[in-house]
Amino acid sequence: MVSHKRLLMNTFSLFLVFQFCHSIDTITANQSITDDGDSQILVSAGKHFVLGFFSPGNSSNRYVGIWYNASKQMVVWVANREKPIKGSTGVFKISREGNLVIIDRNQEGPPLWSANNISIPSNKYFAKLLDNGNLVLSPQDDSGNIVWQSFDYPTHTHLPGMQLGFNRQTGKNKSLTSWKSPDDPASGDYSLQLDPQGSPQLFLYKGSVPVWRSGPWMGDNWSGVHQPMGTFFHYQYVNSSDEVYVTYNNTANFTFSIYAVFMLNDSGSFQWLIWSNVQPVWTRYWEALKERCDEYGRCGGYSSCTTNANNGFECACVPGFQPNKSGAAAGGDGSEGCVRERRLECGLGKAEEEFLKLEHVKLPDTVAARVLNDRSMSQEECEKECLSNCNCTGYSKVNISGGGSGSGCMSWYGELMDIRHYSDGGQDLYVRVARRNSKGFNKRRMLVALLTVPVILLAFILCCYYLLQKRQRKVTTKMQPHQELLFNSNANPEEFKSSFVAAELQEAEINSELSFFDLSVVVAATDNFSSSNKLGQGGFGPVYKGRLSNGQEIAVKRLSKYSGQGIVEFKNEVMLIAKLQHRNLVRLLGCCIQDEEKMLIYEYMPNKSLDYFLFDETRRQLLQWEKRLEIIVGIARGVLYLHQDSLLRIIHRDLKASNILLDSDMNPKISDFGMARIFGRSQTEANTNRVVGTYGYMSPEYAMDGLFSVKSDVFSFGVLLLEIISGKKNTGYNYKDPYMNLIGHAWELWREGKGLDIVDSCMGEGDCYPGDEVLRCIHVGLLCVQESPSDRPTMSNVVFMLSNQTIMPPPNQPAFIMKRAPYADSSSSATGTASCSINEVTISVVEGR
């Protein structure tokens, strides 16, 4: 009897498993989801989101939630957050009334949780999990109506497409509430709400106490959010008489998926996390309470907070105010708020009052502020408006272009609260004070003059010095001799070369996949080299994106006409280069030679180049340590192949971040690698004052004496490696000492035993990356940029050192640690090259004519 029942149940669950295998996204009246196994889930159509039963953290309680398919730990919504089910007896279904409910099979009575009280008795409803993570309940009548949706009841996560805000008509608000703990999704202490008063602001509350404030909306970001919001996501603020809300959507156009969530975690940290399948971890992109000055009212009224060195803070009274002496704990610095130096005698007008300007601030709390949406209002009118009301304490001329609010004037009534000062960005605030007497004013003026004169003088001297340096550098560069790539052997180099080329060419002709494209095909593919298809301007000519008639995407490099090489020679070179195949080299598909035109056709790389990610404040966050190491090792392997493992032995001569392209999985691919060959030979004839290479990546012996060898590529690689680790450019690097470049700074820190200080702060602090592994890489980088080429490792050493824990020699002082033009010490490095080049490719220096 019992076994019979069991058999029946088994058949039943088998049926369900079968049914759910096809990962449905909808349940209708007679279907339900039970807590019987992993197959009992809803999966959204694009497979981005999953709905099912889960237990948070270490808890054994069961909840119905929605999470990312790709990342199960990111639960974005919980239905029965306050009413856990004690065992696996929960059922999620549409009730007979058409309502979405969760019931406990072990419990009689009303459902544990229900979505909506639907009054029309009907079972003709269905619930569907959409691809943006929204669960909607709709009637089955194709009307497309939504009677209930989970996006209207956010828990602790703000997903793209969801609106967070306040409905002025109904008084209803959509806000976030933290979980109690990782084990308990019930409402915790923290909440995030959009306060509709004054100029609407986001507030983070602990209980009913505000702990953080976004500041008013400034058109494309919040006054108090010092980070661009719109790189991958279009962040939108809408304020109308009906409602005020914020929302955002994904605008990233990469070949990989990228997810984002704003999340209020259970310890009250409101953060923006980003996940991509290139780097499948949730990375914190922004956080509300990062610095002490972000804490609401840290400094009290009329006092401005500035972040200082060790993530501490300083409070300073706004102009015309002095520290509140009656505050017992006040150290005389305004941390207990500030009071007026002179009482404001209202009504006397402009003669007795003035406005003092405060630059680069997060605007004070706007709960009691008034916004005049008049685009044409001038600053004088703004000022007048403020003067006309005795309670007005300050104003700001703002430009709120977003949300259709236009620009205008914001004025404050009452105490100016929660001001913070930024070193750059932010807004200007004008604070109303009683006019100072003329004596005081003069004193101030004199002080300013006394301070400014020396500063201007100093700036002038620095400016002159810089210009002088620049001129000298230019002269040095211009004088570069020209060089040609030859292959060394005991025989006559020319002879060796031609026989070598001939042999390779024969082989190439037999099994080359190189195509010769007709000019008309390339013209059609690139829309006649239209400027909208231009991807960039390389050192050898512009690059265009194209699409062949079969749909294949290509990149076309249109070589500058002055390459001067004969057609036969050029063809031969290209056929040789097309034979170079390595996963870290961009693949050459073919070429096009017609009349004056010479073009190279490459595979198209959708994710642009490394510099596009590395040197961008936002995109750089997609590259965490593991990915960066992969990129470093990939580049090293590619260069090693060029130097040693390919038959051609090529010196790249222009390794730099913009020449490293990224494929759809963000694997690095070196581009422009055959250019040294194609251009090397002809340069002497065609273009006498051209130096291939990029300042900042050039080794000293190349930059100064025009000598290059595989070791100059090693140098460039070392620079690139340090750039990847630090996320900073070698040139244009600005840290403390303006004359020190990245290499110099890395070297100084290394000597002081603080090598890890160079690491990109985007990769997180301390234990977010393995310190010893990063240090090993920095060590390798410093070995590569040593002054003397013979001290630098070969690429095969580099690849070995990067992937093995081996003992490495200590690095010597690198070359060019200063940004100065390199004109000292040239002789020593020249001899260095000459003596170490026996078995490698050597250079014959041909003076330019």
Ligand X SMILES: *[C@@H]1O[C@H](CO)[C@@H](O)[C@H](O)[C@H]1NC(C)=O
Closest among 784, 785, 803 to 794, alpha carbons compared: 784
Q: Which two tokens stand for residue 247?
A: 């929302």
Which CB atom, from 373 or from 797, has the smaller least distance to ligand X? 373
Residue that the structure tokens 């999340």 belong to: 263
Burial 382-401 (b: 16+ CB within 10 A, else e): bbebbbeeeebbbbbbbebe
Dihedral angle computed from the Cα positions of residues 34, 35, 38 and 44, in that order, rounded to the nearest 10 degrees:
50
Question: CA-to-CA distance for 62 and 35, rounded, in angstroms?
Answer: 8
E strand or H helix that includes residue 13: helix 2-21
Q: Which two tokens stand for residue 789?
A: 């080429």
Active site residue 705: no
The angle at the Cα of 627, spanning 752 to 777, to the nearest 5 degrees, equals 30
Which CB atom, from 57 or from 440, has the smaller least distance to ligand X? 57
Q: What DSSP state is assigned to residue 602?
A: E
Which residues are within 8 A (CB) of 686 and not within 5 positions of it... i.e. 6 or more apart?
A: 562, 563, 564
Which CB atom, from 426 or from 638, has the smaller least distance to ligand X? 426
E-strand ranges in 406-540 read 407-413, 419-421, 427-434, 482-485, 515-516, 534-538
DSSP string, 307-372: E-TTS-EEEEEPTTEEE-TT-TT--SSSTT-EEESS---TTSGGGTEEEEEEEEEEPPP-TTEEEE
Contact 264, 177 (CB under 8 A): yes
Dihedral angle computed from the Cα positions of residues 533, 536, 538 and 544, in that order, rounded to the nearest 10 degrees:
-10
Question: CA-to-CA distance for 819 and 703, rounded, in angstroms?
Answer: 13
E strand or H helix that includes residue 680: helix 675-680
* Alpha helix ranges (H) inside 584-624: 610-614
Contact 587, 240 (CB under 8 A): no
Question: CA-to-CA distance for 514 and 287, rounded, in angstroms?
Answer: 51
Question: CA-to-CA distance for 747 and 287, rounded, in angstroms?
Answer: 32
Contact 213, 365 (CB under 8 A): yes
- One-letter amino acid at 238 equals V
Interface residues with ligand X (CB under 6 A) are 28-30, 47, 57-58, 69-70, 117, 123, 166, 173, 175, 182-183, 193, 195, 199, 220-221, 223, 225-226, 228, 234, 236, 239-241, 249-251, 253, 265-267, 269, 271, 284, 287, 301, 324, 326-327, 336-337, 339, 371, 373, 389-391, 400, 405, 425-426
DSSP-derived 3-state class of residue 427: strand
Q: How far is the CB of 411 from ligand X (least distance, A)?
A: 11
Question: CA-to-CA distance for 148 and 105, rounded, in angstroms?
Answer: 24
Tell me which residue has its CB nearest to ligand X: 425
Question: CA-to-CA distance for 227 and 291, rounded, in angstroms?
Answer: 14
Question: CA-to-CA distance for 174 and 643, rounded, in angstroms?
Answer: 60
Residue that the structure tokens 């006019």 belong to: 435
Of the candidates 654, 672, 705, 760, the residue annotated as catalytic is 654
Catalytic residues: 654
